Amino acid sequence: MNIVQAPRASAILFHLLKSRKDVRPWLLPANICPIVPITFLKAEIPFELVDISAATLHMDLDQAEALVRTRRFGGLLYAHTYGEASTPVDFFRQVKQLDDSILLVDDRCLCLPGLQPDENNPADVQLFSTGYAKIVDLGQGGYAFLRDGISYHPFHVPFTSRDHERIEQEYKKALHDRTVFEYKDCDWLETDAELKPWLEYRQQIDEELGRSLKRRLSLNAMYMRLLPPEIQLPDGYQIWRFNIRVENKPQILKAIFDASLFASSHYASLAGVMAAGSAPQAEQLAGKVINLFNDRHFDEQKVEMVCEVVKSLLP
């Protein structure tokens, strides 16, 4: 395994895409972070979206396998919804057996950061992030473990924070309005920044991970105690943020913000916005899940207040 680093995990993905001669489309889950397909657009690599499974909330593996069998695709990116860390090892092996030319990326950016590669993971790339709002939030940084032989050459592209803000505003508006996102290339992707040596960076991740987990587990224990269990997602989905599934999401979200508190609403289905088609399971999930904060920006008092707001509006 080889270790690569970049200012952002999306920069690593960009370098991987640009380093390949294979320009066939990729398969992405419909509920992926929008910056991922935008990275493909910048790299000029096409992609198609796969709906998620109602059971696992991750990419529907049956749909994905059927598409892989067509041998039309050059890569597959698997993501872990809300940071649920289980690895579909058998599926990954099946993909490589069906078409060994496919580049298989295991996007673990919402998971606990792994400090060494998982040797039992058949993916070609294990990708992690320490950027904003991740479990270990260092404000920037991404890294990946690459199998030997994977082509990877860093590419310089110009960057301005103004363009990064603009691209965020544009995709957020498209998602809010449910209109087709029209990508106009600009200097939004940061590929060049001074990076710490790997051993120093890994130590920083390790130290911050301990602090982050202590905070998250403490606040999660409060959420588990104060909120009805029937609206809580299973434990494996609760480290990145504490997630609840409710029928009146817009009403509850509005009430949270009206109380001068905050919560988030990740991740929207990108079908019909970033790519053609529909993804009914991803759309249904996005219409019900609220992400409650459990990081350093929240405290015990805010948890209690948010829980009171949520409970007051449950049927």
Q: What is the mean pLDDT of the chain?
A: 97
Residue-level pLDDT at 175: 96
Q: Which residues pair with 271 in a beta bridge?
A: 275
Domain ranges of the chain: 2-194, 199-312
Classify domain 2-194 by CATH architecture: 3-Layer(aba) Sandwich (3.40)
Cis preceding linkage at 152, omega within 30: no
Q: How many CB atoms lie within 10 A of CB 312?
A: 9
Nearest to 240 by CA among 134, 138, 140: 134
DSSP letter for 288, please. T
| 3-state SS track over 78-121 | EECHHHCCCCCHHHHHHHHHHCCCCEEEEECCCCCCCCCCCCCC
Determine the pLDDT at residue 37. 98
Instruction: Could you list the beta-strand ranges (E) of the chain.
Output: 2-6, 26-29, 47-50, 75-79, 103-107, 125-129, 142-146, 242-245, 289-292
Sign of CA dihedral 297, 129, 154, 48: negative
Structure tokens at 248: 């009146």
The answer for residues whose C-beta is within 8 angstroms of residue 225's C-beta and 6 or more apart is: none
Band (pLDDT 50/70/90 cuts) for residue 88 is very high
Rounded CA-CA distance 95/105 in Å is 11
Whether 83 and 242 have beta carbons less than 8 Å apart is answered as no
Interval 53-78: pLDDT, tens: 999 999 999 999 999 999 999 999 99
The confidence band for 20, taking pLDDT boundaries of 50, 70 and 90, is very high
pLDDT score of 95: 97
The whole-angstrom separation of Cα 253 and Cα 9 is 29
Residue 292: in which H helix or E strand, if any?
Answer: strand 289-292
Domain 199-312 class in CATH: alpha beta
CB of 294 closer than 8 Å to CB of 213: no
For the stretch 200-251, pLDDT in tens is 999 999 999 999 999 999 999 999 999 999 999 999 999 999 999 999 999 9
